[in-house]
Amino acid sequence: MLNSLVQTARGVARAEFLCANRGRARVILAVAAVAISAILSGCATAPLSNQPASLLRDELFVDSKQTIDVGAVFRMNDAMRNYLDGDVAQEMRKKGAVQGLYDALYSKHELKLDYDAAETRTASEAFDARSGNCLSLVIMTAAIAKALELNVYFQSVAVDENWLRKDDLYFYSGHVNVTIGRKRPTVRFGYESGHLLTIDFTPLSSDGDLKVRPITEATVLAMYMNNRAAEMLAVGKTRQAYWWVREAILQDAAFLPSYNTLAIVYRRSGYAMHAEAPLRHVLERDSANVPALSNTVLVLRDLGKHSESETASANLKRIVPFEPYHFFRQAQLAMKEKNFRTARDLFAREVNRQPFNHEFHFALAMAHFALGETEKAIRHLSIAGETSVTRQQQGIYAAKLERLRTASRTQ
């Protein structure tokens, strides 16, 4: 669930984006916190070192200046407070604070929250919409848990590489989850033991091992701001995106994806001369950062530094021999030439690389259909619907699947 933009050697921007994989809520019950308890933090702005501050160019974006309401991210609205005093209170009295909160939020017969990655929402927006991506749902859960005086711990989760695209923007998706727990008595709802409950939206199986890294609330805020910046870029609001990514850096200067996004904003706004420094900032701290390397290749080329661009491209090639969507693009050409077997095999390679990318499953389904392999086409079209990240996409795939099934029955 992180946001960082990148551009491939083909001139396509890439971004890291938090939570683009669709999944259902899963819980992990754990005994009292170990080292995780040390990461609890407030919303204070992380101090900027001189170097990150020097990378910002407010004077270039004065015409699009936006005031970002950081407090709105976790702010509760009246509807949330009413739900807290009603349904949540009832569940907590029956099952205890932690399990009661989970059941009230994520049980299908209660609030009926669903996954939707259309945009990154604040706590109240996710509650009102009854949906959100993993970051939005983590923020909403944390806001309610904190209102109940539960302990809240945020974690970044290592997931398989997953790229999505929107026009000429490629998004590299990351993932976060939240752990809640109580370790002290409360007059209002009785006493809860030291157990913790991790709430996670992920397509992993219930027995899959999660590799997690504790993160602070400041980092979660930076992730939110960076996601919003990437979403602005995706709809062409490049100058407005600057103020969101600026706020991400102000919240957590150590969150590297924000600098990659900042470089994209500069480049797309016609300030390539300012885009190189944020990328250098990332690569000095993570020399194998694929989004930063990819964008560096393009920025150096823009600046006429062709030798340096070629060196960066060679470094990128050593880390990632085949760029995202490499086989997909080859397969599309094969489809145009009606070489459906070649297309099928190439689409299958992309599915193997990124099994949760709905676009790849849909393309593979179309190749199977062209070859008369209807059952396989139905299977991959079903998976495309299951792995799609917005309700709109799910509806489109559901309609296509119904038409395909109807056609197969009449054959």
At 317-341, the pLDDT tens digits run 999 888 888 999 999 999 999 999 9
Average pLDDT value for residue range 220-248: 95
pTM listed for this prediction: 0.80
CA distance 125 to 10: 37
Do 175 and 132 form a contact (C-beta atoms < 8 A)? no
What stretches of 269-305 show up as alpha helix (H) in DSSP? Answer: 272-285, 290-302
**% of the chain exceeding 70 in pLDDT:** 78
- Give the pLDDT band (50/70/90) at residue 129: confident
Q: Under CATH, to which class is 326-410 assigned?
A: mainly alpha
Cα 233 from Cα 14, distance rounded (Å): 11
Angle at 214 between CA 195 and CA 189, to 5 degrees: 30
Phi, psi of 384 (to 5 degrees): -60, -45
Per-residue pLDDT band for 313 (boundaries 50, 70, 90) equals very high
Per DSSP, the three-state class of 380 is helix
Q: How far is CA 173 from CA 19, 202, 224, 274, 369, in A?
A: 6, 12, 13, 25, 29
Q: pLDDT tens digits for 273-300?
A: 999 999 999 999 999 999 999 999 999 9
User: Sorting pLDDT into bands at 50, 70 and 90, what band is 230?
Assistant: very high
Can you tell me whether residue 214 is helix, strand or coil?
Answer: strand
d(CA 184, CA 163): 42
Residue, of 111 and 176, whose pLDDT is higher:
176
Residue type, 90: Q
Mean pLDDT of 255-278: 96
E-strand stretches of 71-148 = 114-115, 131-132
Question: What is residue 110's predicted lDDT score, i.e. its pLDDT?
Answer: 58
In this prediction, residue 84 carries a pLDDT of: 87
Residue range(s) occupied by CATH 1.25.40.10 in the chain? 326-410
Is residue 187 very low, low, confident or very high in pLDDT (cuts 50, 70, 90)?
Answer: very low
